[in-house]
Structure 1
């Protein structure tokens, strides 16, 4: 490889989507909750985009959308490119069928938001497989009894999932139990579920867990109020210093027919019937 080739490669890298994340480091840091380490967050975002050529291509197709999705992750205080906040390439009708970046809050992100509210001591979200034992009778049992033979034969196919939280006072929250049919119904509402890059296809069990965690989030405190206070403070600062934010504005066309519209809105989990689906 010649010196000129190396120089060209560096120039492309330094003007690509990853470089844009670095460029707007301060702006993303201003959006994050105070407990988030901005340097670590940026490293995760840059590592995720540089480590997958499909993500690079999708981000280059519309860098503004990519930066907007990262803005959502920053506001929620979730780690991009992890099971807290997936970054996936998704075909967009508004972009002529080309792929753009779609951010999807994962089950670990939902659990993080529940913990952050400070009302629970633990959150349990588990998948049940065909060879596991599982018993739970609402009204009789406080919590499910789930038996797993960790050292025996294969656990078998996914058959269900459940979630509950133990509150700080020791009480048990509502227990959410979903069977395969219910999980598949949630999957069917997701416009992007059949994409090769959808977490439904790359990490199916995690999406089963997300479906249960998302239902649980309706019954336990989340960090919604915490996030509202953060955003209110940021809005006040922005109003006083309108030139401080250098992040590109979100595109005027903020919705896309291919989008999954079930994600948290500023950390509030909206009802399935209102959203039309789960990621």
Structure 2
């Protein structure tokens, strides 16, 4: 799309009889165009970001991601980035990811994102996640009192490969000096969660595409499933509950149009290069909740 100077020249020379052609979505992969696209929307993202998140760094990470989303619609990219901003999670593949499904950019929180939100609760001192490998020393005796019920000592004298394959994922938190229940998840349990709860996995299996997160990064989804179960046994917040629901909606969105709850979508008059693909509804975000202000007993489903 020509800039203001080019449009003025076109008007002066009589070449502006026809409206300029809409820039294709793939132009987002071009560095300058992508940067301009983000700059026009930076107010949306800056207003949504929590105060503790560095806005310039978030925008830099978002810019580096755009080439991977070159075939996605601009409204879906806007929506996914805004979801990241709303929860204060960088789309760096560790806290959160934005995954293209055909031409739809989809927000996907990762296990480190869940842990980050847990840390924001004033009662939670620390959150721990790790893998147990075949040759590690470990023991779990649920009848013993905490913290003697669980023990894990990685073999630091061996490489990860020498320690053998992963056999367990586990997570726990320290809450005001006391350790929470330890969540332990083996591979078969993770597969059972996948088979029972993930519509995206079922759809990819049914269609033979095998492109769901469970297909492309099983370990990441295994880890997230363990951390999501931890959410049920620690003090939580409205923000964390909303993240779980948004995560579930994103998984459902691979079988139906995705819905990121509460996300503000730019209208045509706010989006100078909108491609005209607008959702049927556009709700505003609820008021930002203070960490720890929500329902402690939120359950939610299992990992998507």
TM-score, structure 1 as length reference: 0.70
Deviations along 1:233-277, one digit per CA (max 9) or x if unpaired, are: xxxxx9xxxx9x9468961279xxxxxxxxxxxx989635xx4x5
Measured after TM superposition, the shift of residue 130 of structure 1 is 1.9
What's 1:28 paired with?
45
What's 1:159 paired with?
167
CA–CA distance in 2 between the matches of 1:165 and 1:250?
A: 41
Measured after TM superposition, the shift of residue 211 of structure 1 is 1.0
Q: 2:190 aligns with which of 183, 188, 204?
A: 183
Structure 1 runs of 4+ with >6 Å offset: 9-12, 247-250
> Contact 1:129–1:159 (CA<8 Å) still a contact in 2?
yes
Q: How does 1:204-243 map to 2 (within 5 A)?
A: 204-224=218-238
> Contact 1:79–1:85 (CA<8 Å) still a contact in 2?
yes
* Count, aligned residues: 228
Measured after TM superposition, the shift of residue 192 of structure 1 is 3.2
CA–CA distance in 1 between the matches of 2:38 and 2:235?
A: 32
Secondary structure at the counterpart of residue 170 of structure 2: strand
Deviations along 1:197-238, one digit per CA (max 9) or x if unpaired, are: 64434543332221111110112123426999xxxxxxxxx9
Q: 2:91 aligns with which of 80, 83, 88?
A: 80
| Distance change (3 Å), C-alpha of 1:206 and 1:138 | same
| Distance change (3 Å), C-alpha of 1:253 and 1:184 | farther
Unaligned runs of 5+ in 1: 1-8, 91-97, 229-237, 255-266
Measured after TM superposition, the shift of residue 166 of structure 1 is 0.7
> Contact 1:127–1:208 (CA<8 Å) still a contact in 2?
no
Q: In the alignment, is residue 107 of structure 1 matched against residue 111 of structure 2?
A: yes
| Distance change (3 Å), C-alpha of 1:198 and 1:227 | closer
Q: In the alignment, is residue 173 of structure 1 matched against residue 180 of structure 2?
A: yes
What's 1:40 paired with?
57
| Distance change (3 Å), C-alpha of 1:63 and 1:39 | same
Q: In the alignment, is residue 140 of structure 1 matched against residue 168 of structure 2?
A: no
Higher Cα Rg: structure 1 or 2?
2
Secondary structure at the counterpart of residue 164 of structure 1: strand
Deviations along 1:59-100, one digit per CA (max 9) or x if unpaired, are: 2xx21112111111111111013311111112xxxxxxx332
> Contact 1:117–1:226 (CA<8 Å) still a contact in 2?
no
Measured after TM superposition, the shift of residue 111 of structure 1 is 0.2
Provide the alpha-carbon RMSD of the alignment.
3.4
Q: In the alignment, is residue 71 of structure 1 matched against residue 96 of structure 2?
A: no
CA–CA distance in 2 between the matches of 1:71 and 1:63?
A: 12
Unaligned runs of 5+ in 2: 1-25, 243-263, 283-293
CA–CA distance in 1 between the matches of 2:33 and 2:211?
A: 21
> Contact 1:17–1:56 (CA<8 Å) still a contact in 2?
no
Deviations along 1:17-46, one digit per CA (max 9) or x if unpaired, are: 654333110111111111111111111111
